[in-house]
Structure 1
């Protein structure tokens, strides 16, 4: 089987279930695992490099208002790959090539590749997408084993949270910012991640989209801890934005602020979301997150 993955998350899943050798085409954002970078790139972004968060927000809003695509699919590269399966999404126009663009390209090329749409909104649906990709690639057993390992890790977090609560630990109010200029509240699976980690998500709704918020709303949410998780940013970049945010005075004073690797463990609906849950649980417990998962700003 020859697979083209147009989502970093599905690329990650495909490699994790042993289908990496089947992957022949990826996007410019598919950087995990490192082997994925060796595959042919078939989609790129229309977003100029070097923009600030506010400039990115303005560019995205203008493009969507004009009905322009934010991602470009290289139909020529796709034709040369002779794919049997193309994996894409229609969840977020800001995240990847839309399924309609893929179908139009395949129709134009006269290619009969199957198009599989992966659109998880919750953690359960993310785990379900692992099983879906397992079935689509003939890797059912490895997919089921991966889901079992991820569920076991999540259960360990639940057990640790329950133990802390039995010992009298309070449930802190956690604010996660998926964008910093302007502020965006968390959506989709992130509020679930916060709750699983033992905190209350002050803004945002599980399974819903991320929405813009005024800084007055942010302050009024009275968080006990703030987590800066800007979509698409790794830890060093998120740390820089978190420091700028602290310096701006927009956040409630004297509240702990953490930066996390949003690109790896929060924004992409793949196996590493469980890493994100474990990172948040460590923050709630007052422990140091493992590895280079997070960094405290104040």
Structure 2
């Protein structure tokens, strides 16, 4: 087998199933496990990801309105790799190369055509089914992996079963603000929280600042798609200056606003969503020795708060 993965979550599924030796190409965003960074890159973005959140959103909307993809395939690289299987997605035009783009490319360039495996996750059950389908298609029994993942999830549920549920809003994009949908509401519920915005199994919706202020949740989780902790902190610092409404939020005033690594964990529909659940349990129902603190999440301390702390 010669596998090419065109999205990070698929690369992580391949690795978790023990198929990494067969992976010959990746997307430009595939970065875990770290050894995949040495593989040829088969995609590139049409936008500058170093722009502000607002600028990125505007470019994305312009590309979508023009019926243009946000990503391009490196066709020469793909042709040279001669994959037997390509794993792509048909869930989100913003997340990775779209299925129609891949279908057109292999029809024109590759002979014999590789087998396409297209992932379409909207909820946790979809993700487990994608893992099962990838394993069975590639000749690997998925049940041992799924059993371990689901037992870890059950352990999280047992830990919070007698804890009071906390009101939570998860933010998938800062400017303009979007609430987290898809599998995130399910993870919040499993971690002992009550999700206040966004619907399980549905795409993440844009929201108004007034909506967030009206709900004024106990806990706010900021997990922008594609951003790590440091980038999330920078964007949130800027949002606090641009939109002073944030200062009125109870979660900010009580130290219950958290930044999370949305790139590595929460927005990748693969095995590390169980790590994401464990992170949420640490946040909503703190334990004496958190496993992930400083890696996948940390409390947010804004510029003005840090200054007050230094002076006090």
TM-score range, shorter chain: over 0.9
Q: Write the distance in 2 (CA, Å) between the matches of 1:51 and 1:245.
A: 14
Mean CA deviation greater in 281-290 or 125-134: 281-290
Corresponding residue of 1:121? 122
1:31 corresponds in structure 2 to 31
Matched, 1:175 2:169: yes
Ranges in structure 1 where 5+ consecutive residues have no aligned partner: 165-169
User: Does the Cα contact within 8 Å between 2:71 and 2:96 map onto a contact in 1?
Assistant: yes
Deviation per residue, 1:153-209 (Å, 9 max, x gap): 100111111132xxxxx2111010000001001111011111111011110000000
Q: Contact 2:87–2:116 (CA<8 Å) still a contact in 1? A: yes
* CA distance in structure 2 between the aligned counterparts of 1:242 and 1:281, rounded to whole angstroms: 23
Q: Normalising by structure 2, what TM-score? A: 0.90
Question: Closer, same or farther in 2 for the Cα pair 1:265/1:110, shift >3 Å?
Answer: closer
- Equivalent residue for 2:245? 250
Taking the aligned partners of 2:128 and 2:65, their CA distance within structure 1 comes to 33
Q: Check if 1:294 corresponds to 2:300.
A: no
Q: Secondary structure at the match of 1:28?
A: coil
Aligned partners of 1:266 and 1:153: how far apart in 2? 16
Give the Å deviation of 1:253.
Answer: 3.0
Aligned to 2:213: 219
Deviates more, 1:264-273 or 1:236-245: 236-245
Aligned to 1:160: 159
Q: Is the 8 A contact 1:178 1:210 kept in 2?
A: yes
Q: SS state of the match for residue 42, structure 2? A: strand
Tell me the TM-score normalized by structure 1.
0.94
How many residues end up aligned between the 2 structures?
291
Q: Distance in 2 between matches of 1:235 and 1:110?
A: 39
Tell me by how many angstroms 1:107 deviates. 0.8
Choose which of 185, 191, 203 in structure 2 pairs with 1:191. Answer: 185
Q: State the 1:289 CA deviation.
A: 4.0
Structure-2 change in CA distance of 1:231 and 1:241 (3 Å):
same
- The 8 Å contact of residues 173 and 201 in structure 1, kept in 2 or not, is answered as yes
Contact 1:192 1:206 in 2 (8 A): yes
Give the C-alpha shift of residue 133 in structure 1. Answer: 1.1
